[in-house]
Structure 1
Amino acid sequence: MVYTHGFGIVGAFGNTVDADGKPTFTVGDIPPTKGLGEFQPRVYFGENVPDYSIIGGPAASNPVELDYPDDNSPNGQKNYTYTGQGGVPMGSLFTRLLFAIKYQEQRIVLSNLINSESKILFNRNPRERVAKVAPWLTIDGDPYPAIIDGKILWIIDGYTTSAGYPNSRVVNLANTGDALTSRSNAVSSLDNRNVNYIRNSVKATVDAYDGTVSLYQWDDKDPVLSTWSKAFPGSVKPRSEISAELLAHVRYPEDMFRVQRDILSAYHVTTADAFYGGQDFWRVPLDPSSFGANSANQPPYYLTMQIPGQSKPTFSLYTPFVPRGGRENLTALAVVNSDAGDEYGKITVLQLPRSTNIAGPSQVSSNFEAKPEVATSLSLLRQGGSDVVLGNLLTLPVGKGLLYVQPVYVRATGNTAAYPLLQKVLVSFGDQIGFSETLQGALDQVFGGNSGTTVSDNQQSTSTPGAAGTSQAIRAAISSLQSAFADLEAAQKRLDGAAEDKARARVKAAIAALISAQNR
């Protein structure tokens, strides 16, 4: 009745840090800063709230729920009384008795703090809440929050599945997991069951304040969803009711992509002999980050990138592939468009010819550690009571080559509550390695000299020395990019929208100039 809810939301820019390597927050603190406008910050329904809470009380009574610490208040905290529509009334002794039995807690019956205005909140986890409303859906393992129309909403993907689709390969959903689903406390793996039909037919939301669940049709051609909608009329809202603000936060689901990449690893083969012989099958590489520790598959990553054939960068979800077997060289990238527009869900596969030998994620990670300057620096960072945390190793198609980027963080040893601070950035392009305090510095080391191994339009691998004019153009583009990033960070910190838009335009122009210089 005191510790009933969470408070606030944290958001940070994905491309900037402060001078100490800390995230540059767009919204944070308690009470929340106004970077994303006014919103209801209280989280009664979420991933780390108690199983149940008893809330509410007479309007004239003193609030007893802890809201947030406040040094200016007499007791050092602000209190609050829940005013939302969620919860089951506890005015009846019989109701209190039932919940006392359910939760094995006699104080639900005996406490004099529970009155006719009290209510109990339960089924508070967003995934579980959607599952209660629509038990015929398979629920994605990674709900994510967004501020929409002044509220914190959890957005959750729902799948229609079946194991009875004719002439279709069967996949065990639990076997599609990776380092993220096996090691994260915030992301759950899918159920341990077999399916051979899966469609992302529903986008669901859960209101973090009052628990309201809304189901929206996403795939209007799914016959399974159509059947369920007839069985439970009115349970799923039409896609047209998805607001523009909500639509802007919709993304392509990771669990769906995990299943698709599992299928794609074999079914990209187009000849019968090669397929039945298992030739040219792929697999997802092991995750070389500190999180994966080379013991589980690399998870797919969201990234804004521009791939060959695209006119501009798009928000995407991607995964690399290496050959099935013992080799670790990169063989393909699969990229799915995650922007909720006309190209949403389009999967592009960038396949390298067998004749190429481009290093895969594990090989690049080994190359990083083998470079003397990197090994020495990492050893120094590990001293003085600090742990070195290797971040996500990203694989990016840039120009006609492939760029690897990995952040290096430092965290106080034994302090799991402390978030890591960015200290270094590792970059690899061809046989060149950059290692600096900033991404721009690492890129400057790589592109200031030899341009490394590149891949031409027909995907043939070549190695070309950088000409003096090309190197100068690259350095000039990097300098422009550094200046634009600095201006962008400054504009974001002072919340200057007009200056931020101008800086973003300069960043895009500088990236285009860098790519153009690479291609010369």
Structure 2
Amino acid sequence: IDRYTIDGKYSQVMLSARELNPGQLQPSAQTWVNQKLVFTHGLGVTLSPVNKFTSEGLPQLLVKDLPPQSSVENLKIDRPQIYFGEGPQDYVITDTATEEFDYAKGDANVYTTYKGKGGVEIGGFFRKLLFAFRFGDVKLLLTGDISPESKILFYRDLDVRLKRIAPFITLDADPYIVISEGKLKWIQDAYTTADSFPYSTYVRVSDFKQINYIRNSVKIVMDAYDGRPLFFISDPSDPIINAYANIFPDLFYDLKQLPSDLKQHLRYPEELFKIQSRMYGTYHMKDANVFYNKEDMWAIPNEVYGEGSEVVMDPYYIIMTLPGESKEEFILMTPFTPQNKDNMIGWLAARSDGDRYGKLVVYKFPKERLIYGPMQIEARIDQDASISEQLTLWDQRGSTVIRGNLLVIPVDHSILYVEPLYLIAEKTQLPELKRVIVSDGSTVVMERDLDVALGRIFKADAIKTAAGEELTDEEKEAITETVKAGIEFDKDLVAQAIQYHRDIGESMKQGDWAGIGKNYDNLGLVLERLQEE
């Protein structure tokens, strides 16, 4: 998950690197030449907005195909080859007598040769002998495709490569790839940790490790083509990273030296945020007696996910305007519920944009006000007759319904809940977005896309007559059908039209022909204005 400016609009997107795993070649094609000399790299990324899908329920790709093609100018990729990445990476040899496969084009293949600065030259026979011993591969000595100028690329796995360089820092589990000035770069968050910080609570981060000190002190940027990593100190107040910087002065750079194009893609790390959220659930209590008795403990809520399993909610990235702010920003957020209860009590957000990067903000709801929590909304979804009927119908047809993550989104002074529904056909095993469920706490709707669902929530329920009266069910349904058709309208004009329509009915009951004529004329004028819009 990341954000880019697309056609002048700040947009949240999903990216996925197209890495290559030669181990998935057909068994007959898994030769030494193919695995070490031919299939050496991945190619490009796919990118799609988080809120746009095709009519078939598939992502609407802005970057797609091989070689990658972009429909947006600032997302074009000039050097798409990925030699260093996340996937399982064995050593490969480049600049050999055998060309490297790049991509298929029609009935033929397009080949390339690595021209990057990464890798180590094979050199003469003695160096080749050492490499053969190092990798336990006698074929390095026997092949005639390798020349002294050939390069061997190893430690190509991002995690392994960075740990070999800086084993004293802890890497975040979720590196992400970005498009920057036509090139592909990996961004990796890294932490300094300790387990002996005085008067601090321990947190278990694995089966074998617990810590009581953590700082996101380093941002690492690694080129996906040549594998060169750059370590930037993101928290200069951390004494541990300062000590390492004094020991290795040539390894670390000031974050100010990071190019501005890459700074725009820095994001608050999820692992650190999870730890902080867990701690805040206890340490938000400021009264000593309340804290001592643990009277106001908060918890991370559960949600229904996948094929109906109840799981703990993960924090999620989203672009939104925080309360009291005037500009959208990219944040990481999580809701809170009181411990052992399902209603929502507050939410915590970490900011990622510009000078506000790293700042945490918390919003608390009044305890006397009931705000539905995620599991309460999940229960309302399950209890909705039309939604339940549709889910049952899909299941009976042999398809699998997958419930996506429930997003809790603050909007002004209210909360909006959004949950996507995916369908996996028995034959294709390809998930397709089929419906989006939206709720404002009082109403639950399910539609084919988010815009229509939001239209039903906000437009039909918000419109009253010009006299301020509630609409009838028939009038609401008419507006809902208009929204479904994708027709935009002025809410005030619609309210006037409905009022004049009602006045015509009243005039007819009273036999007031003059009133009928007057209201018909007024209704005609309003309809003309609506038609002009």
Task: List aligned pairs for 1:78-157, cutoff 5 A.
Answer: 78-157=110-189
Match of 2:391 in 1: 378
Q: 1:199-243 deviations in whole A, cap 9, x for unaligned?
A: 111111111111001111212222222111101012111122111
The number of equivalent residue pairs is: 438
Q: Which moved more, 1:362-371 or 1:406-415?
A: 406-415
Contact 1:252 1:345 in 2 (8 A): yes
Match of 2:513 in 1: none
Alignment equivalent of 2:190, drawn from 138, 146, 158: 158
Q: Does 1:55 align with 2:87?
A: no
Q: Does 1:71 align with 2:85?
A: no
Alignment equivalent of 1:363, drawn from 376, 379, 393: 376
Match of 2:280 in 1: 264
Contact 1:39 1:147 in 2 (8 A): no
Match of 1:334 in 2: 348
Structure 1 pair 120–373 and aligned structure 2 pair: CA distance change class (3 A) = same
Contact 2:415 2:441 in 1 (8 A): yes
Structure 1 pair 414–218 and aligned structure 2 pair: CA distance change class (3 A) = farther
Which runs of 5 or more residues in structure 1 are unaligned? Answer: 176-191, 452-465, 485-520
Shift of 1:337: 1.0
Q: 1:344-377 deviations in whole A, cap 9, x for unaligned?
A: 1221111223333322112211221221100111
2: CA distance, partners of 1:119 / 1:108: 12
Which runs of 5 or more residues in structure 2 are unaligned? Answer: 1-36, 463-467, 489-533
Shift of 1:414: 6.1
Alignment equivalent of 2:329, drawn from 314, 338, 346: 314
Q: Secondary structure at the match of 1:24?
A: coil
2: CA distance, partners of 1:483 / 1:46: 46
Q: Which moved more, 1:42-51 or 1:282-291?
A: 282-291
Match of 1:324 in 2: 339
Shift of 1:94: 4.1
2: CA distance, partners of 1:323 / 1:98: 62
Contact 1:287 1:299 in 2 (8 A): no
Structure 1 pair 67–215 and aligned structure 2 pair: CA distance change class (3 A) = same
2: CA distance, partners of 1:357 / 1:383: 37
Alignment equivalent of 2:68, drawn from 28, 32, 35: 32
Match of 1:238 in 2: 254
Contact 2:452 2:484 in 1 (8 A): no
Task: List aligned pairs for 1:155-194, cutoff 5 A.
Answer: 155-174=187-206, 192-194=208-210
2: CA distance, partners of 1:413 / 1:41: 34
2: CA distance, partners of 1:483 / 1:236: 55
Structure 1 pair 78–273 and aligned structure 2 pair: CA distance change class (3 A) = same
Shift of 1:381: 2.7
How large is the Cα RMSD of the aligned pairs? 2.6
Contact 1:433 1:445 in 2 (8 A): no
1: CA distance, partners of 2:246 / 2:487: 57
Shift of 1:334: 0.6
1: CA distance, partners of 2:332 / 2:485: 24
Q: 1:99-154 deviations in whole A, cap 9, x for unaligned?
A: 44444433233222222222221111222222222222111111100111221000
1: CA distance, partners of 2:150 / 2:342: 60
Amino acid at match of 1:235: L
Q: Does 1:436 align with 2:447?
A: yes
Q: Does 1:407 align with 2:420?
A: yes
Contact 1:206 1:214 in 2 (8 A): yes
Q: Secondary structure at the match of 1:159?
A: strand
Amino acid at match of 2:154: F
Structure 1 pair 429–143 and aligned structure 2 pair: CA distance change class (3 A) = same
Q: 1:325-350 deviations in whole A, cap 9, x for unaligned?
A: 2x2221221111111x1221221111
Match of 1:512 in 2: none
2: CA distance, partners of 1:482 / 1:196: 53
Q: Secondary structure at the match of 2:310?
A: coil
Alignment equivalent of 2:233, drawn from 217, 226, 248: 217
Q: 1:406-437 deviations in whole A, cap 9, x for unaligned?
A: 11112223645x3x221111011122101111
Match of 2:32 in 1: none
Q: Secondary structure at the match of 2:51?
A: strand
Contact 2:77 2:184 in 1 (8 A): no
Shift of 1:42: 0.4
1: CA distance, partners of 2:270 / 2:237: 21
Q: Secondary structure at the match of 1:205?
A: strand
Alignment equivalent of 1:228, drawn from 244, 251, 254: 244
TM-score normalised by L of structure 1: 0.78
2: CA distance, partners of 1:29 / 1:426: 31
Structure 1 pair 291–253 and aligned structure 2 pair: CA distance change class (3 A) = farther
Match of 1:492 in 2: none
Identical-residue share of aligned pairs (%)? 36
